A and B are shown apart, each in its own frame.
Chain A
Amino acid sequence: MRYQISHTTRFCYEQPVATSYQLLHLTPRSFDKQQVLSTKLSIEPVPVSFQQRTDYFGNTVTDIVIQERHEELIITNLVQVDVNADQEILLELSPPWESIAESMLNPLDDDALDASKFCFPSPRISIDMVGEYARVSFTRGKPLLRAAMEITRRIFEDFEYQGGVTDVYTPVPHILGARAGVCQDFAHLAIACLRSCGLPARYVSGYLLTRPRDGQPRLTGADASHAWFSVWCPEFGWVDFDPTNNLRPQNEHITIGWGRDYGDVSPTRGYIRGGGTQTLHVAVDVRPI
């Protein structure tokens, strides 16, 4: 599946900004299920410094510094990408979840070691309150991926998709109490559940094809970017789940990057001098070509 994605982020400031530092996770990465064909990142006003590098997780990061006084910052990214993630997985064939949790204590190979980074609390995901919720699905001997799918379904059913209830700093226990949130909250909650069982789960940031194709229902979740989670399992590797839409992402999810939580891969992360109150407008268009 080939997509053309345009992602525009516009910050409007009440007062002029003198200096702006931004760290951008906007360029999708290439990996076995996805090939990036082209990217074009344009920024207005023009930065004095523009550097691209790879972060700890292998994601593409762009560091920019703007020193021109401005009241509006517009970041536009145009991407062409091939996604090839159609993959039949028999969830039942995955090993019992306890064996994976066990293997994380002393990982035997590089893949397991790499996965073990994602087993623990991270800056935005605390795991001490979710145990009870998680245990319902992680009963003894259950295959890991089946339990993950079940958590995905339960979050979809138990929680209401509702903007404005939470923000990007909302802690996991709060989401659990509110029974509502948006895609990153649901991803955070699911990850917390898995990690509370000692399992490796990571946060995935990306896009979702929102225009319904013939005869298919419209997927909720994203006029902006989307988020879901991924679970590691030997032999299967990383397997994605989308609790916002109660499904396993396939060819309609485009991955930008992954990390321990939202904080590692937030599309824009900035520090500005001046500015006063700011408003943010995001426009994403995902078009199959």
Chain B
Amino acid sequence: MTQESNKPDPENSIADTYQSVSGVYDEFMTNGKLRAHWGSIGETLLHQGQNWAANLNTNVRRLLEENAVTYLADGTRRPWQLDGLPFLLNPDEWQTLETGLIQRAQLLNAIVADLYGPQTLLHGNLPPALIFANPDYLLPSCGYQTPEGVYLHLLAFDLGRSPDGQWRVLSNRTEAPSGLGFALENRLIMARCLPELFDRSSVSRLAHFFRSFSDNLQRLGALSTAGDGLAVILSGGPEDAIYSEHTFLGRYLGFPVVEGADLTVRDDRLYLKTLEGLKIINLLTRQIESADCDPLELRPRSRQGAPGLLRTASNGHVVVANAIGSGVVENDAIMSFLPGLCLSLLGEELALPSLATWWCGQAKEYAYVQNHIDTLVLRKAFVRRPLLESSVHTYMATDVDVLDMVQLERAVNLLPYDYVGREPVALSTVPYWNEHGQWEAAPMTLRLYVAATEHGYQVMPGGLARVSTPTGDISKDVWIRSNESFLTSVASNLSVATRRSDRDLPSRTADDLFWLGRYLERSEGAVRLYRTLFRYIGGGGDASEQPVALDILTRLLGSMDYLSAQRARRAAAAGQQAVERELWNILFGPESKDGLAKVLANVYRTANHVRERLSRDAWRLFEKLSEVPQLRWRVHSVADATILLDDLIEKLSAINGQIHENMTRGHGWRLLDLGRRLERSRFVIQVIGDLCTREPQQLGALNLLLDACDSSITHRARYRANPTLNTVLDLLLVDNSNPRAVIHQIEIMQEHMSVMPLEHAEKGLSESGRILLTAHTDLALAEIDKLVDVISKRGLRTHLARLLKRTEQAVNMLSQVITRTYFDHTSRHS
């Protein structure tokens, strides 16, 4: 892992190869020399050769992949980009920025407080159009109360440096600033990739900032009228572009990540629907837009928030961070008013300038923009921009979607207050490692974060640098050297907190975990059956048994919905060739109803919903699992199929191992395991039903049955003889020492249900307890000889068939009882 070597390597070092752009400020070098503040860090980096740089960047990429740092763009998952060379901020400049940003945060908070409170600023300080034409000014939020007057709990600022060396604020982000999680991920990775350099350089740590931020949120939450309560993160769910960040922050801060459907407002209080009933929430960290928070009072059709949330929040019954409506100051139009507002609200000069901006809602400024329309950058005044679109290109390009100047002028004329003109600036450059393996200069913006703490606003001593390259945006970790000494190690400072308990498991998450267990077991069953099928086709079984086995197998796959009836018939009739021909459709055809792809997609989707409950290692395995079919798409033989299916079994086992070893033994884990046991019982019952309830007994079928139920070895060890129906039924139904036996599943489920929270019973057993005890007794009392030997005139093993049917009914009833008792809403699974 260690990259550093102090041995100078003169060949192709940055010093040799890097060229800054003339006329533009470069953050790394000036006149062919390192900028002074880079000091020894810079010297170390400057003389490293190309191999070192390539290794560094490869390691960074590998860690990003390992940590599954991704985002969604156009519906596809994309890897987050991080350059291996950190961005080092000059300590003197840092102090200036820190002071300036704290002032700015105070100022913006004061503006928001006024606009949703007394509105004194409208009497002369701010023109009405700036507020009332702004769609982020939410009238229903007027009168909003929040503890200690904090409306903005977290702010982000994008900064850019102009050729004169001055940092300017490009945008204020106050709605729901994102990217904090990515900044933290970047730091964790860089500290691992450049450990010696990082330690030696006394880079400011981020942990203290996060702790102050999170402690203050919880303190403010307790000041709400809810008093004691839960802190949660409200996310838009897995469809959100940066859901991975929400889950990461959730894990790091120890707050559950919830969605709108998990929340309910009762009696003007906000509650989380949990496994144990409603739990009051006193703090909600909002990752969705303000307008989506409340479908009753705000955007009518939104499903992301909770009806009644705005009223509850604005009455001070729950703290929402940031306050609902805080996007009102996140626009370009307000920029030119900040110096005046700073004087009148704080009695101070605005310390840190914004990029020069002319808002067309004012006559003089409008005239200026009209006269300079072809040199200025023209932007919509009130459009908020997501994190992933706010790099140099978007700040420095006219974003009005009109074809030519004439149309543009017409648009600006019609609604002047909808536009701003901004000064175009050649932003400073930094070296980044390009795709040709060279250091290249590219323009950058710097994103810094400010959080409300108990002792006022604090700036995070780090951040996100965003480099705009021809192939897209790349981030850099931002390093700020500190004079303080750090006694604690990186590891203890930045290890991901696990303060979670399952006490407050949201019902929806519980439902998802239950179904994750079910889907996992279903896919394992399907993969096992497919594998058995291909082994027979490939000649793995005894040749004489083949035709029989193939027939039975395809029938079995058909009855379990893994193979359509038509295909099953065709395959059985034509034997090997037909199956082979259809092989890939059966396995991976995305359109195919009976595809493996569908089963695996269910696993992945459900796992994604509960991602923040899974360990990183487990999640990585899920990602790999979902990639397997794509990797093998071009291979078309039976042998390949078998390899592929073996691979899948291996990955599924690894996932099970991860879950078994690393998940806390709380209700969530129990529900997952319940789902899995339930599905395993159904699988065994169904396979036995298909293969054994009718005469005659066939050795091939029995071997197949043992294989599909993963009990061949157990059988061999226990009986040391060829299987008979008696031995197989004994092993798979009633032998409670066999971990695959149905009775074993029932016993484990009894154990789980006995500690679930809502198993109250008026007399003796709870409903689920009664179902399970009946099923257990039924199996325990079964006489194997009778199950095998009692055969009707039509050749049906009636005792066996009835026992299987009763057990299956019991299992299905249990599923209904669990759903009704614990998931209290329309389940989205089937």
Using a CB–CB cutoff of 8 Å, the interface residues on chain A facing chain B are 19, 21, 23, 48-49, 51, 55-56, 63, 65, 67, 104-107, 113, 116-117, 119-121, 123, 127-128, 131, 196, 260, 263-264, 269-271, 273
Contacts and interface: CB of A to CB of B under 8 A. Distances in A.
Given A113-B122, A263-B300, 14 more contacts: A21-B265, A23-B296, A49-B268, A55-B140, A65-B266, A105-B363, A116-B129, A116-B132, A119-B132, A131-B414, A196-B414, A260-B139, A264-B139, A271-B296
Interface in B48-76: none
State the 3 A-B residue pairs at the shortest beta-carbon distance, nearest first: A116-B128, A120-B133, A271-B307
17 contacts: A49-B266, A49-B268, A55-B140, A56-B140, A63-B311, A105-B363, A107-B128, A113-B122, A113-B123, A117-B128, A119-B129, A119-B132, A119-B133, A121-B135, A123-B135, A269-B300, A271-B295
Given A120-B133, A121-B133, A271-B296, A21 B308 contact: yes
Contacts of A196: 414
Nearest to B267: A49
B139 A56 contact: yes
Contacts of A51: 268
Contacts of A131: 414
Interface residues of B, number: 30
A120 B363 contact: no
Determine chain A's interface SS by DSSP, over half rule: mixed
B147 to A, nearest CB: 21
B418 to A, nearest CB: 9
Contacts of A128: 414-415
Contacts of B122: 113
Interface string B405-421: 00000000011010000
Interface in B300-324: 300, 307-308, 311
B307 A56 contact: no
B142 A56 contact: yes
Given A120-B133, A128-B415, A271-B296, A65 B128 contact: no
Interface core residue of A65, A264, A271 (most chain B CB under 10 Å): A271
Interface core residue of B128, B296, B300 (most chain A CB under 10 Å): B128
B132 A120 contact: yes
Interface string B128-146: 1100110100011010000
Nearest to A260: B139
B716 to A, nearest CB: 54
A259 to B, nearest CB: 8
Contacts of A119: 128-129, 132-133
B795 interface: no
B127 interface: yes
A60 to B, nearest CB: 15
Contacts of B362: 105
Contacts of A104: 128
Contacts of A271: 295-296, 307
Interface string B347-374: 0000000000000011100000000000
B132 A269 contact: no
A283 B64 CA distance: 62
B277 to A, nearest CB: 15
Contacts of A107: 128
A251 B342 CA distance: 50
A20 B143 CA distance: 25
A171 B449 CA distance: 39
B118 to A, nearest CB: 13
Contacts of A270: 296
Given A56-B140, A113-B123, A23 B297 contact: yes
B300 A106 contact: no
Nearest to A56: B139
A75 B128 CA distance: 38
Contacts of B361: 105
Contacts of A263: 300
A1 to B, nearest CB: 32
A105 B127 contact: yes
Contacts of B140: 55-56
Nearest to B294: A271
B231 to A, nearest CB: 24
A271 B303 CA distance: 10
A113 B128 contact: yes
A131 B415 CA distance: 11
A65 B308 contact: yes
A272 to B, nearest CB: 9
